[in-house]
Each structure stands twice: as structure tokens, then as C-alpha cells.
Amino acid sequence: GAGVSQSPRYKVAKRGQDVALRCDPISGHVSLFWYQQALGQGPEFLTYFQNEAQLDKSGLPSDRFFAERPEGSVSTLKIQRTQQEDSAVYLCASSPLDRGDNEQFFGPGTRLTVL
């Protein structure tokens, strides 16, 4: 079956541009997560949705970062006025339930390069 998909796979932006990254989770999955992964480091948590509710956004690095999941399925991570330090791979993951005993299924990521 289809896994988590993300688009675009690669994005090059000029500093100051706004970008929007899309995540299509596995159908029916309740939970959705966004992570940021800098080169050579592990993924860092950004935000978490349970259906359409954003329950945790403690990892968003600044108010330039905004995530939404309006209908409880597809999610978009938006970065306004991109900076060079925003260059990273942005990973999306979904999981079927909303409890601790619950693996996450990851997408391939979007590699963002800010020039």
C-alpha cells in the first residue's frame, strides 16, 4: 500500500522567499509529525497533530514556521522569509493511533536548500 509521501522532494529557495512543503500521510492515520534534520544530525521534532488539532508545536524554531492540517489528513509546513539556517531535510511521519505504543511511518523527506 501507499506510504507517506512528501512533495516536493527537493526545493531550492532564495533567502527571503516563502516555501510550502506538503505531506500526505497514510490514509486513516490519526497522528502526524514534522521533523527537521540538519546534515549529519538526527531528526529534530518540530510539531505534532492529532487529526486536525495541533497538540504540540514546541519544536518550531521561530514564528516563521507554521504548520497546518485543516482536514485531519494532508499537512503543510510553511516557512516564511527563509534563511540559510533553514536548509535541512524536512521529514513527515504518521502513525495510526494516538497512544505511546505506536510506531511512526516516515516519508522520504523534502530537502530544502536556501541560497
Partner 1 sequence: DAKTTQPPSMDCAEGRAANLPCNHSTISGNEYVYWYRQIHSQGPQYIIHGLKNNETNEMASLIITEDRKSSTLILPHATLRDTAVYYCIVSLNAGKSTFGDGTTLTVKP
- Residue 41's nearest CA partner among 111, 88, 85, 77 is 88
What's the closest the beta carbon of residue 61 comes to partner 1, in angstroms?
A: 14
Q: Which of 35, 79, 82, 86 binds partner 1 (CB under 8 A)?
A: 35
Contacts of 95 (CB under 8 A, 6+ apart): 29, 30, 31, 33, 102, 103, 104, 105
Q: Which of 7, 44, 64, 80 binds partner 1 (CB under 8 A)?
A: 44
Peptide bond into 8 cis (omega under 30): yes
Contacts of 99 (CB under 8 A, 6+ apart): none
Q: Which of 79, 88, 93, 112 binds partner 1 (CB under 8 A)?
A: 93
Which of 14-22, 52-60, 65-73, 74-82 is the region at the interface with partner 1 (rule: CB under 8 A)? Answer: 52-60
Residues that bind partner 1 (CB under 8 A): 4, 31, 33, 35, 41-45, 48, 50, 55-56, 58-59, 91, 93, 95, 97-109
